[in-house]
Structure 1
Amino acid sequence: MLALRYAGFAVVATLANLGAQRAVLALGDREAAAVFAVAMVTGTLVGLVVKYLLDKRWIFYDRTAGVAAQGRQFALYTLMGVATTAIFWVTETAFWLTWRTDAAREAGAVIGLTIGYVTKYLLDRRFVFREGGAA
């Protein structure tokens, strides 16, 4: 059940990420590297917050309270995502540069995010949400 819930939340975060990217790309020149970069960063931030909130409550059943403690926890959660974000960005960018279509870009994003989320779960379980829940 946990794996299905985690996979479902990964899909929700992925859709939030890609939706944010589409919104940014709709505002500018899709071929411009700067617009592409802003879209990727915006999508990543949106997906990060969505995934953190879902993981914290429904995957790891974390009860960390207080602004300072939660801030530290979110910072560590974000840090664990740096390598996994690199996997996602490299894969999405490679698909975009190879085929130059939105479908290819999004396929690369989904592949990169899938690899990244599996890796991220293992890191989060070990380093971020050690004391609570399903880990």
Structure 2
Amino acid sequence: MTIAFRYVLFAIVSTLVNFGTQELVIGVAPLAISILAGTAAGFAVKYVLDKKWIFQDCYTGPGHEARKITLYALFSVLTTAVFWGFEITFWLVWQTDLAKYAGGVIGLAIGYLAKFALDRRFVFLTAAA
């Protein structure tokens, strides 16, 4: 299985976790809270999958791991802004769940592409990818 295939597969998995979490939360909380909860869940899943299966990164101690998580999170904020921008814009324009998720998929695809390049260059420095 190629790195590109795994990366796309893991992006899909984390997107499904994101959207599934949103669906669970939206029943009891406003849209913004559901999006935030989905983003947090997707982040955790994506970090673990990327670290192990994309970049083959080993644990090198708490300080190094904290640095990686911090950089990964900072780049996630940037790419999440793209995701949220598309998701919210699509929802505001068409005001349907289908539109909201279509915007989310587009935003996540753009964000993940940028995130891969940033993570490879700055986060997982010993990456095989």
- What's the TM-score, normalizing by structure 2? 0.95
Matched, 1:86 2:81: yes
Q: Deviations over 1:48-96 (max 9, x none)?
A: 1100000000000001332332122111100111111000000000011
Q: Which runs of 4+ in 1 moved over 6 A?
A: none
8 Å CA contact retained: 2:20, 2:38: yes
Partner of 1:3: 4
Q: Deviations over 1:3-48 (max 9, x none)?
A: 11100000000000001111111224xxxxxx11111111111011
- Rounded to whole Å, the distance in 2 between the matches of 1:15 and 1:26 is 17
Q: Compute the displacement of 1:132 (Å).
A: 2.8
Partner of 2:107: 112
Matches within 5 A, 1:22-33: 22-28=23-29
Partner of 1:31: none
- What's the TM-score, normalizing by structure 1? 0.91
- Rounded to whole Å, the distance in 1 between the matches of 2:92 and 2:43 is 24
Identity percentage of aligned residues: 49
Q: Is there any run of 5+ residues in structure 1 with no aligned partner, and where?
A: 29-34
Number of equivalenced pairs: 128
8 Å CA contact retained: 2:90, 2:103: yes
Pairwise CA RMSD: 1.0
- What letter corresponds to residue 48 of structure 1 in structure 2? F
Q: Is there any run of 5+ residues in structure 2 with no aligned partner, and where?
A: none
SS at match of 1:104: helix
Matches within 5 A, 1:46-85: 46-85=41-80
